[in-house]
């Protein structure tokens, strides 16, 4: 049998008889340990110090009476069960005490010991229950108030309770703002439930389910929408049934979910391939773009390492450095070659990022890449366009200069020679002009192929533009190696070209320079070769010339000359000399040729042979030519006005003037300005002008002739024109070149030629002038053969204007 500890009962009773009776009765039933106090003071002392399970309290004590006694004891020991012990006439007081918080009451003299015992037991029991209930209520209230979730109770849809968190969640000021409001009013108007009329907020709690939470959107007092989760359960609130709602703010979770959804969408739809691998670099996930680029399905690669993509184009060191960088800096970006499922190798722009946890431990690697094949191709095309000639496919000037620099660097390092050939095609322009550009292009293409056929694999053939080509000969051992190649080129280019049924003949003029013999650097080499090429052209074309230091000097002189020439005109350095032309029969003055001179401030008088070519090359001849006409016309006009003997003025014209813009109209206009009549002037033109046979020059001849001016062909016999050819043009005079005249008395061939020219010219109704007549024998020969006019030192040298005036005065 279980031993129950005795109940420690304090009996407060001032009547010894009553006290004795109770003591006896309780002794009989057993289980009580009774202490007796006769006054309130003694009772209070006892309950303060001694453990007591219950008190049996008489309210009428010597030192206290009635309800005051109850209050005093309750104050001293609030947890102590109290049973009131009252007289028969005082039963009212007993009931009153129970209302005041006492557990029960007994009426003196009523009931047996069992009633007393039960009453005390129940009092203790009831008190314990009350205590537990209060504690549980306190605990509950604490939980509700401290809960991180909002808790609301409602009855029939009207809020009856709200905890602090609910106030905060809904941005209300205090709980009473919520209490009394309809709970449906808390639902945000955009909530899905607001539309269909049901909501976990208003549903009966059994529909919500105690365990499962449902989502809802609430509207805060400030209008902001708050996503929440709601769970509900039925409760009794203030004695009546109600519904308690636990509401959790899920804003953060929603944002995180949104972020994840966004990331997932990007992952799925981006054009960049994405590959996520774990810390051990095993592939965890790939996106559709990855499949598009590599051809691998997710199943093909997940669980494997990215090695399966490697192209083999990068060595171990490359990957080692890449991973070193990723693990060091956290990121790597660059161009890499990978292999598709098909085996095709392709370039990609790859960026790898290490994803770490809070402690810095790598969790994952994210690799993002895009296929840059097209970009690469574009770059390649641009690079090609920047470096290669579109027509021939040969390196252009840019790449040529680069190759030449490299060749020179190698040459310097290895002590070998580098040969540079500068090639200009002879007569290319003629083909281009006569057959047209399409054929010209075709010819250049074919010429390029022939050039390539003349060199070794390691050599470079480049096209600088137009019909200019270069050849770089690497690592040659002597200059003659370059000469061998040049000879081959001259021979190869010299063979006829078949151009769609047309046969074209061209040639190659080549200048050669050798590193390090002639030049220390590429720029000088190029200049040297160019110069040597010009010399090759000058000396009859279709051949090659090595660069010599003298060429350099000449070039320098020419450059200075060019510079000076540009300024000579406005510095008034030109003057015109006049040489008489004599009628052979009468030996009287018939005409005078204007011959230009350049009085150079340092170099003295420069003859036309030394500067006309340069003036033509630079185009300055146009201005000089205009000045000569104006000055000579004005002078002759002045002499005529002065009444000096009349003569016909011959003015030399360069073919360049006509080709580059001196129109017939302007020529005539200049003449008219001077006031001279057209028949006072003859233009001496070269065979070159006529041979060009272009529309412009032919028109020019006709218009000038139509205007009444004379036209004579100068230096006849030195070019390739034939007299019968000249018939086509409106000419009136032919000047036999002085090189024939000087030999007519010594060289029978020249004599025959001169005689034939005179005869033929006459048959074509042309007059003939013999140039450079220095001796009487020459004069006699020309006179015998009917030459109409003569010009030469025998009759007078070219004279400056003042001297020529004296000459005019003297005849
Ligand atoms: P060209 O038109 O044949 O002129 C005749 C050249 O023969 C002149 O040389 C003249 O001085 C020279 N000469 C005349 N008689 C004799 C002689 O008996 N013996 C020798 N040995 N020579 C004689 P120049 O003045 O030096 O002119 C050379 C060339 O320069 C000219 O040849 C002409 O083609 C060109 N030239 C001269 N002046 C002009 C000009 O104003 N405009 C243009 N475009 N060219 C000019
Ligand atoms: Mg002349
Ligand atoms: Mg002449």
Q: Give me ligand 2 centre to Cα 806, in Å.
A: 22
Q: Nearest ligand to the C-alpha of residue 794? A: 1
Residue owning the nearest CA to atom 3 of ligand 1: 715
Q: Is residue 1 over pLDDT 50?
A: no
Identify the H or E element spanning 164: helix 164-169
Atom of ligand 1 nearest to the CA of 625: 42
Nearest to 498 by CA among 543, 449, 454, 465: 449
Q: Which of 591, 744, 771 to mutate to test the pocket of ligand 1 (most atoms within 8 A of CB)?
A: 771
Cβ(734)–Cβ(713) under 8 Å? yes
Per-residue model confidence as pLDDT tens digits over 487-531? 999 999 999 999 988 899 999 999 999 999 998 899 999 999 999
Cβ(681)–Cβ(708) under 8 Å? no
Over residues 52-80, mean pLDDT: 91
Q: What pLDDT score was predicted for residue 236?
A: 86
Q: What pLDDT score was predicted for residue 189?
A: 85
Angstrom distance (rounded) from CA 480 to CA 419 = 10
Q: Nearest ligand to the C-alpha of residue 575? A: 1
Q: Give me ligand 1 centre to Cα 261, in Å.
A: 95
Angstrom distance (rounded) from CA 89 to CA 112 = 19
Residue owning the nearest CA to atom 19 of ligand 1: 772
Token couple for 604: 């003295």
Angstrom distance (rounded) from CA 296 to CA 290 = 7
Q: What pLDDT score was predicted for residue 700?
A: 92
Q: Nearest ligand to the C-alpha of residue 712? A: 2
Residue 781 to residues 46, 585, 744, 746, 786: CA-CA distances in angstroms? 178, 13, 7, 11, 9
Q: What pLDDT score was predicted for residue 693?
A: 65
Over residues 413-435, mean pLDDT: 91
Atom of ligand 1 nearest to the CA of 791: 15
Angstrom distance (rounded) from CA 713 to CA 690 = 9
Residue 330's region, left for phi above 0, alpha for psi from -120 to 50, else beta, is left
Q: What pLDDT score was predicted for residue 176?
A: 87
Per-residue model confidence as pLDDT tens digits over 553-602? 877 788 888 899 999 999 999 999 999 999 999 999 999 999 999 999 99
Atom of ligand 1 nearest to the CA of 579: 14
Per-residue model confidence as pLDDT tens digits over 784-807? 999 999 999 999 999 999 999 999
Q: Which of 576, 605, 608 to mutate to test the pocket of ligand 1 (most atoms within 8 A of CB)?
A: 608
Q: Which of 569, 617, 652, 717 to mutate to test the pocket of ligand 1 (most atoms within 8 A of CB)?
A: 652
Atom of ligand 1 nearest to the CA of 576: 41
Q: What is the dihedral of CA 332, 334, 335, 339, to 10 degrees?
A: 10
208 pLDDT band, cuts 50/70/90, is: low
Atom of ligand 1 nearest to the CA of 628: 41
Q: Nearest ligand to the C-alpha of residue 739? A: 1
Residue owning the nearest CA to atom 42 of ligand 1: 652
Which residues line the pocket of ligand 1, CB cutoff 6 A? 579, 594-596, 607-609, 612, 628, 652-654, 684, 714-715, 738, 771-774, 791-793, 798
pTM tops 0.75? no
Q: Give me ligand 1 centre to Cα 595, in Å.
A: 6
Q: Nearest ligand to the C-alpha of residue 684? A: 2
For all residues of the chain together, what is the average pLDDT?
91
């Amino acid at each position: 049998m279980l031993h129950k500890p005795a109940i420690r009962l304090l009996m407060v009773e001032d009547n010894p008889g009553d006290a004795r009776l109770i003591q006896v009765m309780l002794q009989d039933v057993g289980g009580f340990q009774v202490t007796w106090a006769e006054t309130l003071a003694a009772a209070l002392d006892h309950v303060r110090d001694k453990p007591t399970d219950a008190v049996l309290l008489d309210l009428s004590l010597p030192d206290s009476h009635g309800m005051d006694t109850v209050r005093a004891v309750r104050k001293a020991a609030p947890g102590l069960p109290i049973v009131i012990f009252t007289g028969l006439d005082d039963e009212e007081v007993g009931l009153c005490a129970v209302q005041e918080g006492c557990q029960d009451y007994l009426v003196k003299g009523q009931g047996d010991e069992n009633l007393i015992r039960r009453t005390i037991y129940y009092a203790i029991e009831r008190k314990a229950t009350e205590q537990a209930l209060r504690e549980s209520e306190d605990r509950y209230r604490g939980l509700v108030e401290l809960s991180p979730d909002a808790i609301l109770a409602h009855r029939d849809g009207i809020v009856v309770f709200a905890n602090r968190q609910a106030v905060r969640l809904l941005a209300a000021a205090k709980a009473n703002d919520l209490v009394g409001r309809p709970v449906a009013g808390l639902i945000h108007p955009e909530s899905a439930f607001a539309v269909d009329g049901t909501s976990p907020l208003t549903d009966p709690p059994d529909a919500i389910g105690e365990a499962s939470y449902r989502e809802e959107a609430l509207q805060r007092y400030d209008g902001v929408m708050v996503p929440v989760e709601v769970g509900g359960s039925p409760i009794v609130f203030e004695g009546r049934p109600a519904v308690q709602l636990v509401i959790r703010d899920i804003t953060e979770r929603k944002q995180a979910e949104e972020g994840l959804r966004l990331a997932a969408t990007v992952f799925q739809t981006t054009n960049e391939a994405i590959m996520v691998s774990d810390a051990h670099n095993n592939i965890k996930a790939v996106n559709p773009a990855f499949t598009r680029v590599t051809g691998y399905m997710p199943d093909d690669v997940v669980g494997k390492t990215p090695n399966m993509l490697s192209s083999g184009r990068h060595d171990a060191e490359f990957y080692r450095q890449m991973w070193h960088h990723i693990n060091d800096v956290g990121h790597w970006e660059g161009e890499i070659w990978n292999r598709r499922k098909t085996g095709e190798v392709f370039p990609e722009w790859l960026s790898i990022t290490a994803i770490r946890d809070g402690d810095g431990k790598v969790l994952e690697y994210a690799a993002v890449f895009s296929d840059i094949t097209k970009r690469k191709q574009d770059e390649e095309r641009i690079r090609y366009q920047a470096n290669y000639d579109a027509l021939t496919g040969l390196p252009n000037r840019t790449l040529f200069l680069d190759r030449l620099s490299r060749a020179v660097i190698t040459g310097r390092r290895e002590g070998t020679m580098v040969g540079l050939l500068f090639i200009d095609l002879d007569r290319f322009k003629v083909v281009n002009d006569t057959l047209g550009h399409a054929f010209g292009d075709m010819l250049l293409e074919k010429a390029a192929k022939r050039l390539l056929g003349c060199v070794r694999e390691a050599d470079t053939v480049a096209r600088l533009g137009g019909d200019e080509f270069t050849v770089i000969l690497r690592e040659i051992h002597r200059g003659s190696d370059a000469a061998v190649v040049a000879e081959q080129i001259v021979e190869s280019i010299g063979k006829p070209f078949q151009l769609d049924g047309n046969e074209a003949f061209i040639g190659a003029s080549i200048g050669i320079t050798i590193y390090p013999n002639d030049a220390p650097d590429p720029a000088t080499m190029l200049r040297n070769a160019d110069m040597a090429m010009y010399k090759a052209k000058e000396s009859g074309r279709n051949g090659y010339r090595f660069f010599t230091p003298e060429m350099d000097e000449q070039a320098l002189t020419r450059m200075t000359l060019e510079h000076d020439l540009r300024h000579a005109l406005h510095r008034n350095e030109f003057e015109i000399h006049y040489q008489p032309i004599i009628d052979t029969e009468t030996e009287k003055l018939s005409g005078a040729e204007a011959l230009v001179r350049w009085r150079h401030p340092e170099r003295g008088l420069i003859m036309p042979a030394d500067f006309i070519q340069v003036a033509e090359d630079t185009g300055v001849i146009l201005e000089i030519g205009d000045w000569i006409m104006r000055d000579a016309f004005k002078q002759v006009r002045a002499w005529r006005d002065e009444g000096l003997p009349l003569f016909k003025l011959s003015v030399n014209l360069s073919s360049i003037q006509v080709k580059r813009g001196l129109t017939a109209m302007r020529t005539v206009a200049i003449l008219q300005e001077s006031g001279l009549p057209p028949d006072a002037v003859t233009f001496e033109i070269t065979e070159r002008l006529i041979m060009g046979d272009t529309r412009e020059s032919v028109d020019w001849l006709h218009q000038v002739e139509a205007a009444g001016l004379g036209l004579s062909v100068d230096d006849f016999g030195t070019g390739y024109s034939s007299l019968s050819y000249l018939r086509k043009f409106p000419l009136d005079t032919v000047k036999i070149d002085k090189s024939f005249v000087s030999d007519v008395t010594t060289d029978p061939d020249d004599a025959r030629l001169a005689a034939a020219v005179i005869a033929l010219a006459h048959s074509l109704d042309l007059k003939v002038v013999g140039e450079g007549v220095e001796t009487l024998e020459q004069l006699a020969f020309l006179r015998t053969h009917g030459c109409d006019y003569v010009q030469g030192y025998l009759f007078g040298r070219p004279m400056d204007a003042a001297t020529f005036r004296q000459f005019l005065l003297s005849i």
